[in-house]
Chains A and B, each alone.
Chain A
Amino acid sequence: KAGVTQTPRYLIKTRGQQVTLSCSPISGHRSVSWYQQTPGQGLQFLFEYFSETQRNKGNFPGRFSGRQFSNSRSEMNVSTLELGDSALYLCASSLAGGGNEKLFFGSGTQLSVL
């Protein structure tokens, strides 16, 4: 089985631009979560999608948004980029998104905002 695939692997953007990151979950997994990882704040939860519906959202500004498609693939979008948005963005999938489930993580997208 293929693992969680995130594209692109690296991105360089300038302040004010917007960016879209993509995540393909493991086949059969219907829950996709997104996390932001920075040296200062560590790993922080962004949002979780299940069957195309956002079920949970972390404490991030509205510039951060996401969606999930009928095939469970997910995208997250960051508009009006700020320097502080530079981070590793990790996507994780699981079967149904229950609190007791193992999450399978992708390798992440490293976003640099200049």
Chain B
Amino acid sequence: AQSVTQLDSQVPVFEEAPVELRCNYSSSVSVYLFWYVQYPNQGLQLLLKYLSGSTLVKGINGFEAEFNKSQTSFHLRKPSVHISDTAEYFCAVSGSGYSTLTFGKGTMLLVSP
């Protein structure tokens, strides 16, 4: 069985400040890791994914994430946030079989001027 823990339900931050959204996962098998973003009244959009190889993954909109196998973590970072980054961010895992995602509870990123 797989599980995902997003340690912060809300992260308030000022515009142009750096941000880190934390994600830890648990799985007995190798997994693929994803970060999705959900803007108000919309579906989810993929930010980035880790499949294998380099542990630092770059995504869209200036986001990046680092896979740490020993700490079973996949934290999302952005060096400088914009107001438009205000949204809910979901960390997710899937196994090597079908594309069944197990999501964390989400982290609401609130960017203020």
Contact = CB atoms under 8 A, between A and B. Distances in A.
Interface of A: 4, 31, 33, 35, 42-45, 48, 50, 55-56, 58, 90, 92, 94, 97-103, 105-108
Contacts, number: 66
Contact of B99 (A58, A99, A106): A99
Nearest to A105: B43
B43 A90 contact: yes
A4 B43 contact: yes
Contacts of A106: 43
B104 A45 contact: no
A107 B38 CA distance: 10
Interface of B: 32, 36, 41-46, 49, 51, 90, 94-106
A42 B45 CA distance: 16
B43 A33 contact: no
A42 B98 CA distance: 21
A45 B44 contact: no
A100 B41 contact: no
A50 B98 CA distance: 10
